[in-house]
């Protein structure tokens, strides 16, 4: 019996969302292709999964480089004994920083766009190219508060994330009728992961554990989206802690 496979792009720290999504799908018996730019972090995520009896492998890839994304999908989709080609592709890459607009350089703006939007296009396009001929599968994108509104000092971030949101909507309308579930997850609030704890510990202290999004709780929703019956698909799902203003 062939093992189902999940391709998850944008995996970093073990205390991050990408790693939590990997663990959730591995728990359901999926072979997980854990994709990111830092091999040591990927190895740590994979080791945790395999120690728990799951199946995973690390794949280093810069999702902003078209050639690397093409190689990634060529590797992921090739026939391998014991496992299927991925039936779910998740794009979770992104970064964030507060920078007043007058201080944003052209290269910074482009860098945020390349990670937050352009990379999503590359991954989404290749996922569609491989899944559409099969007539089934899921393509899921991670969004943020900036997908919906541009806050002061986050114009560069909002431009990228809102572009990714529009891409997901267009893909859902184009590929949904062909059997591909395309969904966008708006993560609206602080994620209780390594990045926030290291860069902004004061936010963690101020909001408390229940005022932040738990990575495993977020990951549960990605599994739910992939398992939705085609008679009731969600295109966009927004998640926030109960204390979050919106």
Res. 206: pLDDT tops 90 = no
Which residue ranges make up each domain of the chain? 5-239
Confidence at 196, pLDDT banded by 50, 70, 90:
low
d(CA 86, CA 14): 22
Query: Which tens digits make up the pLDDT trace of 74-98?
Result: 999 998 988 999 999 999 998 899 9
pTM: 0.94
pLDDT band at 190 (very low <50, low <70, confident <90, very high): confident
CA distances 162 to 25, 83, 123, 180, 223, Å, are 27, 35, 17, 22, 23
pLDDT in tens, 116-168: 999 999 999 999 999 999 999 999 999 999 999 999 999 999 999 999 999 99
59 by DSSP, 3-state: which?
strand
Distance between CA atoms of residues 233 and 98, nearest Å = 34
CA 167 to chain centre: 14
**CATH architecture, range 5-239:** 3-Layer(aba) Sandwich (3.40)
Measured CA to CA, the distance from residue 80 to residue 147 in angstroms comes to 37
pLDDT tops 90 at residue 199 = no
**Residue 204 has what pLDDT?**
66
- Assign 84 to helix, strand or coil: coil
């Amino acid at each position: 019996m062939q093992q189902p496979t999940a391709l998850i792009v944008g995996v970093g720290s073990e205390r991050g969302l990408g790693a939590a999504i990997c663990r959730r799908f591995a728990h359901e018996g999926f072979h997980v292709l854990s994709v990111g730019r830092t091999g040591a972090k990927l190895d740590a995520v994979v080791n945790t999964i395999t120690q728990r009896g799951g199946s995973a492998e690390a794949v280093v890839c810069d999702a902003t480089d078209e050639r690397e994304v093409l190689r990634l999908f060529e590797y992921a989709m090739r026939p391998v004994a014991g496992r299927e080609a991925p039936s779910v592709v998740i794009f979770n890459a992104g970064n964030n920083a507060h920078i007043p607009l007058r201080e944003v350089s052209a290269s910074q703006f482009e860098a945020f766009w390349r990670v937050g939007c352009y990379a999503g296009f590359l991954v989404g396009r290749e996922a569609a190219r491989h899944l559409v001929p099969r007539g089934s599968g899921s393509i899921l994108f991670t969004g943020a508060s900036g997908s919906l509104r541009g806050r002061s000092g986050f114009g560069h971030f909002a431009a990228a994330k809102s572009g990714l949101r529009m891409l997901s909507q267009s893909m859902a309308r184009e590929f949904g009728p062909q059997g591909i579930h395309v969904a966008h997850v708006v993560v609206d609030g602080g994620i209780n992961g390594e990045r926030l704890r290291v860069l902004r510990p004061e936010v963690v202290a101020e909001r408390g554990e229940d005022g932040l999004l738990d990575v495993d709780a977020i990951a549960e929703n990605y599994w739910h989206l992939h398992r939705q019956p085609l008679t009731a698909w969600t295109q966009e799902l927004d998640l926030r802690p109960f204390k979050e203003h919106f």
